[in-house]
Structure 1
Amino acid sequence: MYMEKEIAGATAVEASVSARLDRLPPTRYFSGLVARIAIGGWFEFYEMFMAAYISLGLIGSGLYRATTAGLFDVNGFASFLGSFFAGMFVGTVALGGFTDRFGRRAVFTCAMLIYSVATFAAAFQHSPESMDLWRFVAGLGIGVQLITVDTYISELTPHHTRGRYSAFSILVILTSVPTGAVLSFLLVPHTILGLEGWRWVMIIGSAGAVLIWFMRRGLPESPRWLESKGRVDEARAIVDAIEARVVAETRCPLQAPAQHAPEPPAGEQSGSWSEMWKGRYFSRTVMLSFFNFFQTFGVYGFGAWVPVLLYTKGITITHSLLYTMVIAFATPLGALGAMACAERVQRKWQLVGCAIVVAVAGVLFGMVREPVLILLFGSAVTIANNWLIGIFHTYQAELYPTRIRARAVGFVFSWSRLSSIFVGFWVAALLKHSGVPAVFVLISSAMFVIVVMVGLLGPKTNGIRLEELSQ
């Protein structure tokens, strides 16, 4: 009996953290854990998509104008968008490595505080210069937070349900979009307690700082990250606690951890920035860089400009906000589709399919004027865009090893922030000189690049352990 216990104990010690996590069944505990992390992402997406819904309020108040006189015209609405994405670019490039250095949980908490405080300050600005400054600071925090959430969830969840849990997190996050649309529809046309409605929409978005201290309690650090840093005892203690929660919920004994190929010893996995350009990671880095640069043409080139695009087509402010709100309610449908197909259809082909839908439905949206067709094609673009979001956040996080995951994801994701800085200016210029259809020709061309790059260079990932993908 003593020998059996000793052998069992030795097996538990020998099993890696990842092997122990990957054999766990799906449970309400994991769903709750993912949902809590996703709440941090909820405020990020509220912040990003809020710009579209308060755009007419900003323009109507005289703070900004719809068109722009040049690339760095601070008086154009494109400046409001560009400053925010410039902050996100700096946050993902310069600060993305902090997540690999200091841990997922600590950076998650700090980033949320930064953008919540900055958003609250921005709500009280009265010049485009000061507004752009605070939007830049908010972008810094969100740039770090986005890659932290993706990394955090991919490392805490079992490999056979990783895609589904990541898509579930996006579903939670994307409920922020219709929420922001409804609040804007109700508040933007009015002045309340001496403050314009769009300012109240921003103030509500800063509420994440209030929730942060409640959210951080009970959130474990990533055991995979701790193990990669040589903090093996801490990693095993966290996995012990997770296993205890799963056993208590399922009332079933756990299967023995699978025996996998030996993994690099804990504490010896020191990654470097140059590693993402070597071996199998080179093609992944190139593919994801192109993907991220061009996906923002569809996601933000459309999402951030819907009310302005409709208004430019001659639709009244009230109807533009109403159509935008209705289209926004289609947002969670994309995440539901991603969640349903996350483990059933290869993620790379889901990305390709979504890009094709955005390209076709976007051109049709730019051509029609009938309310029913506007809502139909606008909803199709929105669903495809958010299905794409639900998949690519999972996809890019699983293509790199733990030691460089946040840094590499931060780098490739930074290309989306870089393009986002300029997409607003390009959209504004096309609206001024060529009209709404030209905007969607631009978007469709970008989607074609995604189809080619992901179709040719994207690896298959469904159901494969993170450690196997990175060997």
Structure 2
Amino acid sequence: MSTDKSAEIAARLDRLPSSRTVWTMVLLLSLGGVFEFYDLFFTAYVAPGMVGAGLFKPESLGFFSALGPIKVAGFGTFVFATFAGLWVGALFAGQLADIMGRRVIFTWSMIWYMVCTAVMAFQTTGLELNVWRFIAGIGLGVELVTIDTYISELIPSRERGRAYAVNQCITFSIVPVIAFMAYAMKDTQPFGLAYWRVIILIGSVGAIAVWFMRRHIPESPRWLSTHGRVEEAEQVVAEIERRVEAEKGIKLSPPDLSAVQSEKAERGTLGEVLRAPYLKRTIILSIFNMAQVIGFYGFAAWVPTLLIDRGVHVTQGLAYAFIIAIANPFGPLLGVLFADKFERKTQIVGGLLVMAIVIVLFSMASAPPLLVVLGVLFTLASNIMSYAYHGYQAEVYPTRIRARAVGFVYSWSRISAAFAGLVIGILLHHYGVPGVAAFIGVSMMVGIVMILLGPATRGRSLESISR
């Protein structure tokens, strides 16, 4: 009986019309993501202040100085600690959302990284900064996994693509804001603190407001029903339906149960992610994540250096990099127009293909205006690819293991990102931008091949995709 009820609940969610009620949930989840991205992207902008304060000299790094032999030294240890924390959070702690629920983990992971980041802002040695950055990164990794999982389960199937596009448009909007604040506050001491400490603290303070908003986000009815809490799931769906009917002035029609498919009402395990019928999807998405992040973060993190290598003056290079950064939210914004009109796989492959072509053209160009245009095109394509794959990897697994699976495949991008920067640095030193372009281009081709092997998802219920 609970299995039939679970299928009915899923059908009732998928038949909801577009409404302010539904999109308010997307907005609130996205606001949580804003401060994750703030925390993730401030790294490049606080680097000058941290390095200038002498916090990453060998004597300040403690045991982190042992990373020197593998060319991870100085501020690189902070980046390494960031991605190491994200990896642990995504792989090991991400599954907590399958065990304890989406809402509770969304809330407490936010508190986790908010508190840890605030503590980190007051540390006085590189060792202490790195330790707290690693701990905060665990919370960030959990939060990123939980939001992707949450959106897929709350939003009707015909609007999931747009939901992810809106989510990433909102979250990426914080990137140029961070860049501007760092520029405006550089070499100042607001409240008697170094500017980089204030930038870090702003993220923690802002996250407090989002934490209070979380009470307006219900637990995932799909998660509740698969854990045998059918009555609670029924209450959540009934309340959403009540709000939609009041908002639209309509009476919702009964859901079409003729093609309803149900999921197993049981608790999943991480081992299920690595067994048939999901093993193929796990391998495909793990390799894809290792490949895509080379282009996504590889270009974003190195764009000022790449511009300078193409002959652009340092000061101009930083200004041009800021212009390129402004493009970040516009890729997903464009995606709102077509996110649910084309297959998710098509959007991912299209984004990767454009990235591969543009990076080759970038390596051959020398005129600053053309470099900026190509940089903007690369950023737009990479962020269209990003929202599409974040939605895709959450769609292809069943509710009982969705957070575990997303955490597992996504964790490989964290490992890849940690070492891709090292490889790009070596290639840039020995082969210049053409060497970097070849590395990114080949990686994009690998990503394309992997995605083409995956299932189609557009407009399908989560339950039918997972079967």
Check whether TM > 0.5: yes
Matched, 1:463 2:456: no
Out of 45, 53, 69, the position equivalent to 1:53 is 45
Instruction: Measure, in 1, the Cα distance between the counterparts of 2:304 and 2:52.
Output: 13
Out of 273, 294, 300, the position equivalent to 2:270 is 273
Residue of structure 2 in register with 1:71 after alignment: 70
Say if 1:218 and 1:417 are closer, same or farther in 2 by CA, change over 3 A: same
Residue of structure 2 in register with 1:8 after alignment: none
Q: CA deviation at 1:56?
A: 4.1
Residue of structure 2 in register with 1:352 after alignment: 349
Instruction: Measure, in 2, the Cα distance between the counterparts of 1:408 and 1:142.
Output: 17
Residue of structure 1 in register with 2:62 after alignment: none
**Unmatched 5+ stretches in structure 2:** 58-66
Matched, 1:25 2:24: no
Residue of structure 2 in register with 1:442 after alignment: 439
Task: For residues 185-237 of structure 1, give each alpha carbon's deviation from its aligned partner in whole angstroms, at most 9, with x where no partner exists.
Answer: 22235444543333322222222442143221221000000000000110000
Say if 1:27 and 1:255 are closer, same or farther in 2 by CA, change over 3 A: same
Q: Give the counterpart letter for 2:408 in structure 1.
A: F
Q: Is the 8 A contact 1:229 1:269 kept in 2?
A: yes
Residue of structure 2 in register with 1:122 after alignment: 120
Q: CA deviation at 1:289?
A: 0.5
Q: CA deviation at 1:285?
A: 1.0
Say if 1:397 and 1:135 are closer, same or farther in 2 by CA, change over 3 A: same
**Unmatched 5+ stretches in structure 1:** 1-11
Q: Is the 8 A contact 2:331 2:384 kept in 1?
A: yes
Residue of structure 2 in register with 1:4 after alignment: none
Q: Is the 8 A contact 1:46 1:177 kept in 2?
A: yes
Instruction: Measure, in 2, the Cα distance between the counterparts of 1:125 and 1:366.
Output: 40
Residue of structure 1 in register with 2:93 after alignment: 95
Instruction: Measure, in 1, the Cα distance between the counterparts of 2:303 and 2:145.
Output: 26
Say if 1:52 and 1:380 are closer, same or farther in 2 by CA, change over 3 A: farther
Bigger mean CA offset, 247-256 vs 211-220: 211-220
Instruction: Measure, in 1, the Cα distance between the counterparts of 2:239 and 2:93.
Output: 31
Instruction: Measure, in 1, the Cα distance between the counterparts of 2:28 and 2:165.
Output: 14
Bigger mean CA offset, 216-225 vs 439-448: 439-448
C-alpha RMSD over aligned residues: 2.3
Q: Is the 8 A contact 2:110 2:211 kept in 1?
A: no
Q: Is the 8 A contact 1:90 1:140 kept in 2?
A: yes
Matched, 1:147 2:145: yes
Task: For residues 297-317 of structure 1, give each alpha carbon's deviation from its aligned partner in whole angstroms, at most 9, with x where no partner exists.
Answer: 111111122234445556455
Residue of structure 1 in register with 2:130 after alignment: 132
Task: For residues 252-274 of structure 1, give each alpha carbon's deviation from its aligned partner in whole angstroms, at most 9, with x where no partner exists.
Answer: 111111114565577x3232222
Task: For residues 29-54 of structure 1, give each alpha carbon's deviation from its aligned partner in whole angstroms, at most 9, with x where no partner exists.
Answer: 11111100111111111222222333
Q: Is the 8 A contact 1:55 1:308 kept in 2?
A: no
Task: For residues 398-423 of structure 1, give each alpha carbon's deviation from its aligned partner in whole angstroms, at most 9, with x where no partner exists.
Answer: 00000110011111111111111212
Q: Is the 8 A contact 1:88 1:143 kept in 2?
A: yes
Say if 1:386 and 1:28 are closer, same or farther in 2 by CA, change over 3 A: same
Aligned pairs for 1:260-409 (under 5 A) are 260-261=258-259, 263-264=261-262, 268-311=265-308, 315-409=312-406
Q: Is the 8 A contact 1:87 1:139 kept in 2?
A: yes
Q: Secondary structure at the match of 2:266?
A: coil
Instruction: Measure, in 2, the Cα distance between the counterparts of 1:260 and 1:134.
Output: 52
Matched, 1:44 2:36: yes
Matched, 1:195 2:187: no
Aligned pairs for 1:231-246 (under 5 A) are 231-246=229-244
Q: Is the 8 A contact 2:5 2:230 kept in 1?
A: no
Q: Is the 8 A contact 1:64 1:128 kept in 2?
A: yes
Residue of structure 2 in register with 1:453 after alignment: 450
Q: Is the 8 A contact 1:401 1:467 kept in 2?
A: yes
Say if 1:309 and 1:199 are closer, same or farther in 2 by CA, change over 3 A: farther
Instruction: Measure, in 2, the Cα distance between the counterparts of 1:189 and 1:372.
Output: 30
Residue of structure 2 in register with 1:7 after alignment: none
Bigger mean CA offset, 124-133 vs 139-148: 124-133
Bigger mean CA offset, 400-409 vs 111-120: 111-120
> Hey, which bits of structure 1, 4+ residues long, moved more than 6 A?
12-15
Residue of structure 1 in register with 2:246 after alignment: 248
Residue of structure 1 in register with 2:61 after alignment: none
Q: Secondary structure at the match of 2:416?
A: helix
Q: Give the counterpart letter for 1:133 in structure 2.
A: V
Say if 1:299 and 1:14 are closer, same or farther in 2 by CA, change over 3 A: closer
Say if 1:15 and 1:203 are closer, same or farther in 2 by CA, change over 3 A: closer
Instruction: Measure, in 2, the Cα distance between the counterparts of 1:168 and 1:419.
Output: 27
Say if 1:14 and 1:98 are closer, same or farther in 2 by CA, change over 3 A: closer
Equivalenced residue count is 455
Matched, 1:431 2:428: yes
Q: Is the 8 A contact 1:150 1:393 kept in 2?
A: yes
- Normalising by structure 1, what TM-score? 0.90
Q: Is the 8 A contact 1:78 1:428 kept in 2?
A: no
Q: Secondary structure at the match of 1:341?
A: coil
Instruction: Measure, in 1, the Cα distance between the counterparts of 2:283 and 2:133.
Output: 29
Q: Is the 8 A contact 1:72 1:79 kept in 2?
A: no
